[in-house]
């Protein structure tokens, strides 16, 4: 099964966040993303040709986020979107975040 | 004419940005917004009940932005959206930014 085909399982808390080493290893599955803030955030910058394309992407990934019940933080505007993933319940990264990242990348057509 | 009913005229550059005093005065029309970064940015935080409502608002204001040809920068996620306005051509604030802010506020139903 490809990484993006995995399902994002609800994270109920009570489990540890990934360590920096674990996050670095799993991040090889989504090389365009960067692990930030002592491995508590997963971030990618996307570029677009205008505002409308950025907004369309924001809606596309939001649809996936609602389906999976795992929501990103998004900063976007004319020609760009920066997407941040983390798992709120554990205030850090979980495999789910990397699965979501892979799913988002599949929606990026540029 | 109410402030939100004004039309955002294209800013071609070559005119000065509003001064701090001018920005402070005109900001009285949109009291929920704050003038930041030495009067070069106009910012408001909106709160929502969930991700879907935040996204719906983002789409609503983006529709206005496309119509007016004046685009905000938006950071949003579960339950919130922070909207930043400024006029790129003059790297500061113009009356247009405050008109857009008033139009966005009209779309905020909460």
- Asked if A72 and B77 come within 8 Å (Cβ–Cβ), the reply is yes
Contact criterion met (CB < 8 Å) for B77 and A73: yes
What is the value of ipTM here, to two decimals? 0.93
Segments in chain A forming alpha helices (H): 20-26, 51-68, 95-106
Tell me if the pTM is above 0.90.
yes
Question: A103: phi > 0 → left, psi -120 to 50 → alpha, else beta; which?
Answer: alpha
Q: How far apart are CA A104 and CA B27, in angstroms?
A: 38
pLDDT given at position B10: 67
Average pLDDT over residues A4-17: 78
Give pLDDT, residue A15: 86
How far is A95 from B5, CA to CA, in rounded Å? 48
Question: Which of B51, B70, B86 best probes binding to A when mutated, by most A CB atoms within 10 angstroms?
Answer: B51
A73–B76: do the CB atoms touch at under 8 Å? Answer: yes
d(CA B91, CA B79): 30
Q: Which residue has the higher pLDDT, A12 or A105?
A: A105
**Domains of chain B with CATH codes:** 40-110 (3.30.1360.20)
Tens digit of pLDDT per residue, chain B (110 long)? Answer: 788 888 777 667 678 999 999 999 999 999 999 999 999 999 999 999 999 999 999 999 999 999 999 999 999 999 999 999 999 989 999 999 999 999 999 999 75
């Amino acid at each position: 099964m490809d990484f993006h085909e995995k399902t994002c399982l609800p994270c109920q808390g009570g489990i540890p966040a990934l360590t920096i080493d674990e996050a670095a290893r799993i991040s090889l599955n989504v090389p365009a993303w960067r692990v930030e803030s002592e491995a508590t955030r997963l971030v990618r910058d996307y570029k677009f040709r205008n505002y409308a394309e950025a907004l369309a992407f924001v809606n596309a990934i939001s649809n996936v986020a609602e389906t999976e019940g795992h929501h990103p933080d998004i900063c976007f505007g004319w020609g760009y979107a920066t997407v941040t993933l983390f798992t709120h319940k554990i205030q850090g990264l979980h495999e789910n975040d990397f699965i979501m990242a892979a799913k988002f990348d599949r929606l990026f057509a540029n």
